[in-house]
Amino acid sequence: MWDENTIHELVEQQRRYFRSGATMDVGERILALKRLKTAVRKHEKELEKALAEDMGRSATEAYFCDIGSVLLEINETLRHLRRWARPETHWSGLVSFPSMITKVYKMPYGTTLIISPFNFPILLSLGVLTAALAGGNTAVIKASSKSAACTKVLQELIASVFPQEYVAVVDGGHDVADLCLAERFDKIFYTGSPRVGVHVMEQAAKNLTPVTLELGGETGNWCIVRKDADLKDAARKIAFFKILNSGQICIDINQVAVAEEVAEDFLEALKEEFTRQIGPDPVHHPEYPSLISDAAYQKCAAEAGQYRDRIVLGGAGDPELRKYAPTIIYPVGCDEAIVQHELFCPLLPVVPFPDNEIDRLLATIEEREHGLALYLFTKDLDWAKGTMSKMQYGGGCINEVCLHLMVKGVPFGGTGHSGMGAYHGVWGFREFTHPSTVLIGATKGNLPLREHPYTGFKGSWKKKVVKLVER
């Protein structure tokens, strides 16, 4: 259906719709978000079924990770949008006398492109759309071809709420994504891999289009378990997170570094937790999600095969079901290949380190590309807070996993190879609006300070006055 001409016409339709002013009124934006919320609720069962078809998600996991999280984002936006969108008033300062009032208007970019991934196909499309609509933009959503069932429901959901010139969902593979990127959008929001993120930036640069990138991180996200950590608590949370979506999460733990003094106890606790939470045969457990494609399964299985002699739990799967068991690999060196790239699967390398050499481990992590997340488990909160305040990463938790993503009013985003820009709540509104500063000039009482001449007696006193006010 989608080719160069149809995509170009779609973008032009949206550009005309935006220029008509239909999206500018904040009240209309609120109505649009309410319609979106109603549609998500109405299609809840269809979305759950699609998430099960694409990734084997249970209904509870589908709601927790995708559907409920979207509703949470919409509700937060509805609650505060009028305040976010209100123009700010600033005092212009003596240097601008007598024009003392300056306004900052929060202006929409215009026609936006949202490229969403397969792993959270509802949250990472409709969650981003929420911010785009709040900002007063139109949106083309390029949904993933890998999660085909979810893309189909998304198309039906959006078409039931919005005219195509306001919001549209485009399906297709990388070729269709490139056709979208060839168009001149006013803002692009991409979620996916750093490699494709580079391509998105290259295409956006041709039109100087501003870009937000939410990426997984080139060398993955670290979790550090110190010797003083509550090992059972750490194991419980890490196991939960690695089971979730079968490890296909951009903020997932890529590798665990555990103090060697407690490594064996931690491993035993971790094995127990995997078994407790997903059973002794996770591959055939009805609640355990599948990998997204045959290629993803084969990649996971092949990498596990390279470390076959060090697998201490798991290491088996079913290609027909596309399910691979949570797999602990131990011991793994800090410089081995498996901990130098994002895994995006249920493999979990465990790296032992001497607890008194934690600074050396942190230095190694810092030398690599910045992760999207960092997780620390320790009873020494002063050390943990100090570490979190010095390292470079997207976001993270102390003695917890992933829940920073769910906190209202705080930004979510990466840095370096894990992304640029941030969203959620007001941060998403800011990401999809441009702050335009407008000084309101006075027509009476103007002084000739800025006007020529700049020499002689007049120039001398002008400079003195300027020095006085520009402090």
Active site residue 273: no
Partners of 258 in the β-ladder: 225, 352
Residue 191 backbone phi and psi in degrees, to 5: -120, 125
Q: Which residue among the candidates 48, 73, 214, 218 is catalytic per the annotation? A: 214
Q: Which residue among the candidates 180, 250, 300, 345 is catalytic per the annotation? A: 250
Q: Is 362 exposed, middle or buried (0-12, 13-18, 19+ CB in 10 A)?
A: middle
The two three-digit tokens of residue 409, written as one number? 């009013």
Q: Is 442 exposed, middle or buried (0-12, 13-18, 19+ CB in 10 A)?
A: middle
The two three-digit tokens of residue 359, written as one number? 């600074």
The two three-digit tokens of residue 8, written as one number? 């170009």
Spatial distance between the Cα atoms of 202 and 206, rounded to a whole number of angstroms: 7
Spatial distance between the Cα atoms of 328 and 316, rounded to a whole number of angstroms: 11
Active site residue 223: no
* Distance from chain centroid for Cα 340: 21
- The catalytic site residues sit at 214, 250
